[in-house]
Amino acid sequence: MKTTRTIISYDITKDQTRTKTAENLKYYGLKRIQYSVFEGELTNQDLKNLKKDLRKTKTKENDSIHIIYQCKRCKEKREIIGKKPDKTPHHEIL
């Protein structure tokens, strides 16, 4: 099954909307790598469903959600300065 490495970041002002968005991203198996940044592998169907769910998010005028697609080569070139992400598989976090 083909998957796409996806990074999603958001800047949402309302606490309830921000929390719901984070829970939604976790539901799809994405892992939090920063407070408002998640990443993971998504199947094409999950990606389609997630984007549909995110479009329903009740954002304010200045809020935003960014979806960034990352190729395998780009992921391998990533550098992390400071605390490294937790290696716990996402299914154990849910």
Per-residue pLDDT of 21-57, as tens digits, reads: 999 999 999 999 999 999 999 999 999 999 999 998 8
pLDDT at 90: 45
- Is the pTM value of this prediction over 0.85? no
Q: Which domains does the chain have, with CATH numbers?
A: 3-83 (3.30.70.240)
Per-residue pLDDT of 65-83, as tens digits, reads: 999 998 766 666 666 667 6
Cβ of 91: how many Cβ atoms within 10 Å? 7
pLDDT at 78: 63
DSSP string, 16-75: HHHHHHHHHHHHTT-EEEETTEEEEEEEHHHHHHHHHHHHTS---TT-EEEEEEE-HHHH
Tokens describing residue 86? 């937790």
Whether residue 91 has pLDDT greater than 60 = no
